[in-house]
Amino acid sequence: MEYKNPLGVDIDLETGVIPGAKKLVRRLSDLKGYFVDEKAYEELLKENPVVYEVYAIEQEEKDGDLNFATTVLYPGKVGREFFFTKGHYHSKADRAEIYYGIKGRGGMLLQTPEGKAEWIEMGPGTVVYVPPYWAHRTVNTGDEPFIFLAIYPADAGHDYGSIAEKGFSKLVVEENGEVRVVDSPKWKE
């Protein structure tokens, strides 16, 4: 039997950086078609800001193993919609996931394939359980970076397809200075 080596790392709780992790950067240009307000999107694209960064420690895609990653989701809006991560189902759809809030404020939009949506607010210390089969997207509703940790099965994979196409059934927007979860005009059954 070949055993893998255990690993301990300290997440920088101010910046979200995991030493030795693989870094992924998503700019606004990587999120084409994701926001409802296309004019506002094109306008902000001139600056093409970083929307989020992911620091991931991933294993081979094998049953039973675990990956973990921090995400640093920057504050901002496209029109009335707060910055968010792309959001995905798992390629192995029955794989669950755990999120843990580290810094800043935001929340998670979750959705079943039929379009039943849930919104869970997150701050430092919030644990969110993502059940099997639910798509999940995080949203920064604050004015500082929203940082969280996620732990997920190594063989879960990311299925972006249907979210990239029609998004979530709900949008998280600012309305008169308040955070509101409203129906998405893009969503069709």
Ligand X SMILES: O=P(O)(O)OC[C@H]1O[C@H](O)[C@H](O)[C@@H](O)[C@@H]1O
Binding site for ligand X (CB under 6 A): 54, 69, 71, 85-88, 150, 152, 158
CA distances from 104 to 9, 76, 140, 159 (A): 21, 13, 8, 27
105 makes contact, choosing from ligand X, Fe ion, none, with CB < 5 to 8 Å by partner type, with: none
Burial class (CB in 10 A: 0-12, 13-18, 19+), 188: exposed
- 8 Å CB contact between 87 and 81: no
Whichever of 44 and 73 has its CB closer to Fe ion, that residue is 73
Whichever of 69 and 172 has its CB closer to Fe ion, that residue is 69
Among 52, 97, 146, 163, binds Fe ion (CB under 5 A): 97
Here the tokens at position 79 are 């029109």
**What's the CA gap between 66 and 14, in Å, rounded?**
24
**What's the CA gap between 48 and 30, in Å, rounded?**
9
Whichever of 71 and 140 has its CB closer to ligand X, that residue is 71
To the nearest whole angstrom, how small is the minimum distance from the Cβ of residue 176 to Fe ion? 32
To the nearest whole angstrom, how small is the minimum distance from the Cβ of residue 38 to ligand X? 20
To the nearest whole angstrom, how small is the minimum distance from the Cβ of residue 54 to ligand X? 5
Percent helix, strand and coil across the chain, each to the nearest 5: 10, 40, 50
To the nearest whole angstrom, how small is the minimum distance from the Cβ of residue 99 to Fe ion? 9
Comparing every residue's Cβ against ligand X, the nearest one is 150
From 3-11, 91-99, 119-127, 172-180, give the range in contact with Fe ion by CB under 5 A.
91-99
Binding site for Fe ion (CB under 5 A): 97
